[in-house]
């Protein structure tokens, strides 16, 4: 416990630090603006960001603006607000005055105005205007359905549709299978998944994978690996040391889940991974590994402490979104690093690699453009070391 130190720093009092505390103190010192070594990196991969967010009031406002820019396809300001939010999330103190933000990177005019407004009035009028905007509200509603992206939401909005019943009663709209499932399980899928539910699903996937091949390896990834209490889905990496076998692993797993009667939806994407086509120089939203986007039926009896459901729900089960991805074992470290997130942490890892190291990083490889060679890694630590970065634990990647 070094709260004696953080309190003194916050109040600007000089402190005497004992040698035995020095390492802990050095670790958090850069997060104090105006402190002697006040340097917060512009890269999320050089910051430690836990799930404890001391500046929610600001970061939630930034996210509304970022989302609104995203709906209008204005990329620059959208990213700027996400970056600014990510910097504030990493702070071990709460911003109480504009002066506190003086030496922080990634905060522009617009973000500072917003911070000032929130400090003064406890809220932002710009944010409130967006929240009450019909177009924002409608796009937010439509994109909350599994299978409905910003493009589809926009199309529906422009046709004058404003509610789910508008969409579902419009005869000219043909929902695809994913969207039909999205509406069918809307209540369940939009309710957060708890850690206990994630653990229960881990047991189910673990059992299924090992029934197929004994040497299977399964790892929890995504937000739950970063220590989050709740998530919108549960992400797993499943693979086997037998190279090539991973390509057919997922169909076997989903067949088994189907036999168990718990497979409510399955969108399987076969592997298109080809090492000879790498490195890829353009940005790709998805990696090439075999993967499947599932909706599973989770029984209450399998969850310690019961389901995260409403009290009047007496079905005894709920639908949950699960993602499985299956890289070949020699790509495991890259896939794990990529799928652990957060999205902002990943973005900055790639940006750091490109701009500071002349390297290309994605979910498959790390490539050194100067040496023109691929860098091998069996663990995440190997990748951080190649990049010349201090290792950041998964629970410190909530950027
Ligand atoms: N990811 C990726 N490529 C994609 C989608 C996701 O590399 N096309 C990575 C980035 C984060 C991670 O996978 C998990 O994605 P999500 O489940 O969307 O995010 P999360 O951090 O797990 O958050 P949530 O708790 O909402 O699921
Ligand atoms: Mg997730």
**pLDDT digit string, tens, across residues 59-91:** 999 999 999 999 999 999 999 999 999 999 999
pLDDT of residue 24: 62
pLDDT of residue 31: 59
Ligand 1: residue whose CA is nearest its atom 2: 339
Question: Do the strands 193-194 and 217-221 form a parallel or antiparallel pair, or are they unpaired?
Answer: unpaired
Atom from ligand 1 closest to the CA of residue 286: 8
Q: What is the pTM of this model?
A: 0.90
CA 276 to chain centroid, in Å, comes to: 29
> Which regions of the chain does DSSP assign to beta strands (E)?
193-194, 217-221, 230-231, 234-239, 263-269, 290-299, 317-326, 359-361, 366-368, 373-374
Phi/psi at 244 (nearest 5 deg)? 100, -35
Q: Is 250 exposed, middle or buried (0-12, 13-18, 19+ CB in 10 A)?
A: buried
Phi/psi at 115 (nearest 5 deg)? -60, -45
Ligand nearest to the CA of 340: 1
36 confidence band (pLDDT: 50, 70, 90): very low
CB burial readout 204-232, b (16+ within 10 A) else e: bbeebbeebbeebebbbbbbbbbbbeebe
Catalytic-residue membership of 235: yes
Catalytic-residue membership of 368: no
Distance CA 179, CA 148 (A): 6
Catalytic-residue membership of 330: no
Average per-residue pLDDT in the chain?
A: 94
Q: Is 67 in the pocket of ligand 1 (CB under 6 A)?
A: no
Residue by residue, DSSP assigns 41-71 as -SSGGGS-B-S--TTHHHHHHHHHHHHHHHH
Atom from ligand 1 closest to the CA of residue 226: 21
Ligand 1: residue whose CA is nearest its atom 15: 222
The answer to whether the CB of 325 falls within 8 A of the CB of 220 is: no
Q: Is 341 in the pocket of ligand 1 (CB under 6 A)?
A: yes
The preferred substitution site among 223, 284, 326, 346 for testing ligand 1, maximizing ligand atoms within 8 Å of CB, is 223
pLDDT at 29 over 70: no
Phi/psi at 320 (nearest 5 deg)? -135, 140
pLDDT of residue 4: 74
Span 133-157, pLDDT tens digits: 999 999 999 999 999 999 999 999 9
Q: Measured in angstroms, how far is the CA atom of residue 193 from the centroid of ligand 2? A: 10
Q: Is 222 in the pocket of ligand 1 (CB under 6 A)?
A: yes
Cα-only R_g, the chain? 23
Catalytic site residue from 255, 323, 330, 368? 323
């Amino acid at each position: 416990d070094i709260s004696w130190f953080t309190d003194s720093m916050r109040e600007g009092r000089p402190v005497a630090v004992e040698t035995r505390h020095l390492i802990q103190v050095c670790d958090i010192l850069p997060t104090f603006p105006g402190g002697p070594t006040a340097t917060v990196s512009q890269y999320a991969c050089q910051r430690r960001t836990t799930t404890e967010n001391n500046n929610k009031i600001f970061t939630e406002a930034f996210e509304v603006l970022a989302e609104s820019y995203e709906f209008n396809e204005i990329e620059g300001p959208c990213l700027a607000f996400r970056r600014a939010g990510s910097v504030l999330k990493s702070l071990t103190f709460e911003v109480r005055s504009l002066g506190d933000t003086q030496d922080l990177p990634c905060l522009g005019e617009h973000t500072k105005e917003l911070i000032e407004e929130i400090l003064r009035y406890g809220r932002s009028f710009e944010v409130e205007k967006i929240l009450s905007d019909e177009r924002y509200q409608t796009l937010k509603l439509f994109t909350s359905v599994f299978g409905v992206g910003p493009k589809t939401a926009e199309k529906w909005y422009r046709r004058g549709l404003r509610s789910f019943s508008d969409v579902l009663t419009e005869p000219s709209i043909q929902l695809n299978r994913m969207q039909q499932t999205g509406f069918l399980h809307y209540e369940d899928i939009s309710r957060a998944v708890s850690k206990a539910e994630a653990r229960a699903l881990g047991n189910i996937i673990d059992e299924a994978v090992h029934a197929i091949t004994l040497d299977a390896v399964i790892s929890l990834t995504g937000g739950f690996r970063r220590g989050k209490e709740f998530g919108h889905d549960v992400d797993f990496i499943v693979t086997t040391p037998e190279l090539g076998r991973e390509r057919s692993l997922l169909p076997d797993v989903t067949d088994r889940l189907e036999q168990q009667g718990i497979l409510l939806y399955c969108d399987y994407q076969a592997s298109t991974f080809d090492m000879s086509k790498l490195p890829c120089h353009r940005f790709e939203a998805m990696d090439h590994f075999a993967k499947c986007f599932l909706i599973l039926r989770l029984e209450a009896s399998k969850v310690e402490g019961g389901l995260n459901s409403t009290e009047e729900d007496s079905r005894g089960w709920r639908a949950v979104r699960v993602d499985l991805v299956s890289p070949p074992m020699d790509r495991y470290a890259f896939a794990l690093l990529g799928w652990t997130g957060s999205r902002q942490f990943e973005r900055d890892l790639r940006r750091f690699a490109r701009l500071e190291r002349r390297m290309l990083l994605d979910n498959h490889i790390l490539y050194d453009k100067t040496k023109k060679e691929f860098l091998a890694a069996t663990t995440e630590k190997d990748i951080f070391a190649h990049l010349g970065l201090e290792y950041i634990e998964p629970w410190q990647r909530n950027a």
